[in-house]
Structure 1
Amino acid sequence: MSELTTVARPYARAAFEFAVENKCIDTWSAMLQFSAEVVNNPTMAELLTRDKTADELGNLFISVCEGQLDEHGLNFIKIMAENGRLSVLPRVAQIFAELQTEQNKEVDVDIVSAYALSNKQKENLSKSLEKRLARKVNLNCSIDKALIAGMVITAGDLVIDSSASGQLTRLSNTLQS
């Protein structure tokens, strides 16, 4: 995965910088998402592994994406085909989305709780996290009864574990040391 990221990052950054300059971030996001779906198609994935020239692959890919890509998107695909990088398009789209989220000062926060949260609780959590993270927060809530009580909040590298099972684990580790 890390090698894939290393290859995809320069393409994603270049596409993002171009999209920002031309004020077409949403258009580029849609084009990259569509292209990623094309690459993820089993038939297309098989075609990408066959011995074909860069021109053949680029033309094949562009014919599949006809009407979904603008002139700049077509050029982007041609460059990726010339460099043999069409297979990393899903990761390019993912990094592009991360850059877009970063620019919008948004962060996705995963909240796993022992029980369903009420709308009021979600609202209070959202406000508190926005204050702490200095960003707009997009909550993704799920339930895991194994937590016993409390919740685990994950935002990027930040993890806040206030679950009963997490506290019991910490207590056990403390008693063992």
Structure 2
Amino acid sequence: MAELTTLARPYAKAAFGFAHEHGDLSSWATQLKTLAIVSEYGKVKEIVSSPALTPEQQASTLLSVCGEELDSKVKNFVELLAENKRLALLPEVFTLFDALKTAEEQAVDVELTTAFELDDASEKKLADALSAKLARKVKVSSAVDSQLLAGAIIKAGDLVIDGSMRGRLEKLAKAINS
């Protein structure tokens, strides 16, 4: 995993730099996400990693599957990756690009897991409070886990806030058993 990140980093930085310079971060992120998903799909993954095919064949297959979803600049980027035999790095390139984009936008992705479904007003209030605490824009993705009993678990990068009843009961059990 670390090796893939090391190999993908220069490509992600180059793509980010180009997209940032042209004010096209959002479009590049969307297109790289499409490429990452498509390149991991069964037969396409086999073709992209096949040593029997030329880099041009691999790139043209990937580009034809993506169709009109990609603009010419991203297609050129794919051809460069193919030429350097790095098409298999597309998922990692997207992950790194997205992290750079998030850092640039001063945003953080927050995973919110609650014991029950929150209404939009409560979710917005929580997002606003987190945004103020973290001093960043917050993008919330929420999920429901009824095993939490009550409360919520908030994950924002390395930060984890466990305000669930299950978490509190586990801490209490550890304290009693110690």
Indicate the TM-score class for this superposition, using the shorter chain for normalisation: 0.7 to 0.9
Map of 1:41-120 to 2, 5 A cutoff? 41-50=41-50, 51-65=52-66, 67-120=68-121
Structure 2 gap segments, 5+ residues each:
none
Matched position secondary structure for 2:62: helix
**1:151: how far off?**
1.1
Letter in 1 for 2:84: N
Letter in 1 for 2:109: D
Partner Cα separation in structure 2 for residue 176 and residue 129 of structure 1 = 34
Matched position secondary structure for 2:85: coil
- When residues 63 and 127 of structure 1 are mapped into structure 2, their CA distance, relative to the original with a 3 A threshold, is closer
2:28 aligns with 28
Partner Cα separation in structure 2 for residue 15 and residue 154 of structure 1 = 28
- When residues 41 and 132 of structure 1 are mapped into structure 2, their CA distance, relative to the original with a 3 A threshold, is same
1:102-159 Cα distance to aligned partner (Å, 9 max, x none): 2122212111111222333222211210110111112222221211111111111111
Matched position secondary structure for 1:84: coil
2:11 aligns with 11
- When residues 81 and 174 of structure 1 are mapped into structure 2, their CA distance, relative to the original with a 3 A threshold, is same
1:39 aligns with 39
The RMSD of aligned alpha carbons is 2.0
Structure 1 gap segments, 5+ residues each:
none
TM-score by length of 1: 0.87
**1:97: how far off?**
2.0
**1:65: how far off?**
4.4
Letter in 1 for 2:47: L
Partner Cα separation in structure 2 for residue 16 and residue 93 of structure 1 = 10
